Amino acid sequence: MPRPVAVVAFAQTEHSGEDRGMAEIEILAPVITEIKERTGQKQFGFTCSGSCDYLAGAPFAFVSALDAIGAWPPISESHVEMDAAWALYEAWVKLQHGDIDTALVYGFGKSSQGNLRAVLTQQLDPYHLAPLGIDAVSLAALQARAYMERSGAKEDDLRAVAARSREAGHGNPFALHLPAPEGDDYDVAPLRPYDVAPVTDGAAAIVLAAGDRARELCERPAWITGIDHRTEPHAPGVRDLSRSDSARVAGEKAGATGIEVAELHAQYTHEELILREALGLGEDTVVNPSGGPLSANPMMAAGLIRIGEAAARVHDGSASRVLGHASSGPCLQQNLVCVLSGENHG
């Protein structure tokens, strides 16, 4: 039986769709200050972050972040070169040991300083795929086509996802406030520009706490009742792109049933439809009330933000069983599912 661990605080930047002239750590620093103030904690049993050097175009993005978080006296700390949702997973595992009670998790990324879809090409198999120059949106379009052919979904169904997400984003002070989808021009067919998550700069932080410590730090902690992540093969030709087996298995392992609110790290409209199916989310589950990645997608923080947004629905009492999801790699290659509950645990 896992030790009860909860999300007790969540903070994020007002995300930006354009370069505001700030370095990555300047974007991050206020979020760290805010979450320390809100929890009254200056130190944590463990700290873990997610970032990516390729967004900055220089090695060691996480090193300067340590200067920003005030790692003195020296802290117990680690870093994943992945979305910070996986940093949260590492911190959750650390909390299972039982020798610490709190953990700070943060992620940050400034996608605006490069050409994101070209940068993401460098994530592909360097011997076979990357030399072809396939960009992220083109790969996503292949997946969208595969999904539409299998399911019978139409471009209007994709547009409906974009419309709902953008409208929801207007109610979220941290998201970009994008206009309703319009126009018939494709980005890469069948995807139109509004089917693709916007390039976004931003950062986020979460504090995890175990047992009684969680109850001290939060009136209504969002208890992690299940968390799991899975990968699939990288090569697009060896998996069924129209489905997400890894999301399905992670969802089953995390116990994703009876979900009232799900925050999905869907970076393209069709990904939301694939994920809804893989996770068995029906009509009665509210998906991405924050607007989701289609309203703000700060790389390396966007997955963590999904967990934070889901937890926030528990914190404010508007839901009691929620789900946060994160993905990594091309075409939803890797998926993480975190199920949270407001019911008292431990």
Residues in contact with other proteins by CB under 8 A are 2, 23, 47, 52-54, 56-60, 62-64, 66-67, 70-82, 86, 89-90, 93-99, 119-120, 122-127, 129-130, 228-235, 238, 245-246, 249, 328-330, 333-334
> Shortest approach of other proteins to residue 185 CB, angstroms?
29
Coil, strand or helix at 11: strand
Range list of H helices, 171-255: 211-217, 245-254
By C-beta, is 52 or 287 nearer to other proteins?
52
> Shortest approach of other proteins to residue 98 CB, angstroms?
6
- The amino acid occupying position 125 is D
> Shortest approach of other proteins to residue 182 CB, angstroms?
33
By C-beta, is 99 or 284 nearer to other proteins?
99
> Shortest approach of other proteins to residue 35 CB, angstroms?
18
Chain position carrying tokens 């873990």:
48
Handedness of CA 132, 137, 138, 140 (dihedral sign): positive
> Shortest approach of other proteins to residue 280 CB, angstroms?
18
By C-beta, is 127 or 156 nearer to other proteins?
127
Is the Cβ–Cβ distance between 247 and 325 less than 8 Å? Answer: yes
By C-beta, is 23 or 142 nearer to other proteins?
23
> Shortest approach of other proteins to residue 31 CB, angstroms?
17
For residue 209, the cross-strand partners are 6, 102
By C-beta, is 123 or 151 nearer to other proteins?
123
Coil, strand or helix at 258: coil
- The token duo for 92 is 């959750």
Q: How big is the CA angle at 296 (ends 291 and 297), to the nearest 5 degrees?
A: 120
Nearest to 310 by CA among 341, 332, 267: 341
By C-beta, is 95 or 162 nearer to other proteins?
95
User: Which CA distances in Å does 71 have to 39, 44, 46, 125, 270?
Assistant: 17, 10, 11, 36, 41
- The amino acid occupying position 268 is Y
